[in-house]
Structure 1
Amino acid sequence: MEGSKEALIELAHYKMPFGKYKGEYLVDIPEYYYAWFKQKGFPEGKLGRMMLQMYDIKINGLGDMIQTIKRDFRKG
């Protein structure tokens, strides 16, 4: 369970490294952006996995949960 907690904290604090939303927290990026990537294909590697997780979180209405984690838990 501890690994899951750390993974959610990391996801909550992860920032987009490129593009229109460069420097923005993944949780702050609109759902439509993830839907576009879902159609076109997510990037390879860790970023792509995190973007897919955030897509699933957002389409299931759980974005507020990640916002709370970002606010209440510091990364590291």
Structure 2
Amino acid sequence: MKPEDLEQLLTTPMPFGKHQGTMIADLPANYLHWFAREGFPKGHVGQLLQLMFEIDHNGLSDLLEPLRKARQQARR
């Protein structure tokens, strides 16, 4: 994992499926668990989904909060 991967979780929308358009960091846990069971897609989006699953599964979602706050402040 690279630091920019965390930023990409907040800026990359889900490109397909039920939650198309939702940022990967905001996907529901049950959707991430579905991918974990069925298989993550290939490519960069699949890597981000797998990273978000690991973050969520291990209770580390708070890692994203400083980045969320920085993005909100930058919008002001």
| TM tier, smaller | 0.7 to 0.9
- Alignment match, 1:53: 51
After TM superposition, the score normalised by the length of structure 2 is: 0.80
- Alignment match, 1:41: 39
Partner Cα separation in structure 2 for residue 67 and residue 28 of structure 1: 12
Amino acid at match of 1:61: G
- Alignment match, 1:16: 14
User: Matched residue pairs, number?
Assistant: 72
Q: Could you list the runs of 4 or more consecutive aligned residues of structure 1 that deviate by over 6 angstroms after TM superposition?
A: none
Are the equivalent residues in 2 in contact too, given 1:11–1:50 (CA < 8 A)?
yes
Are the equivalent residues in 2 in contact too, given 1:12–1:70 (CA < 8 A)?
yes
* CA displacement at 1:66 relative to structure 2: 1.7
Amino acid at match of 1:31: A
Structure 1 segments unaligned to the other structure (5+ residues) = none
- Alignment match, 1:66: 64
RMSD value, Cα: 1.9
The alpha-carbon distance between structure 1 residues 67 and 13, as it changes in their structure 2 partners (threshold 3 A), is farther
Overall identity of the aligned pairs, in %: 35
Structure 2 segments unaligned to the other structure (5+ residues) = none
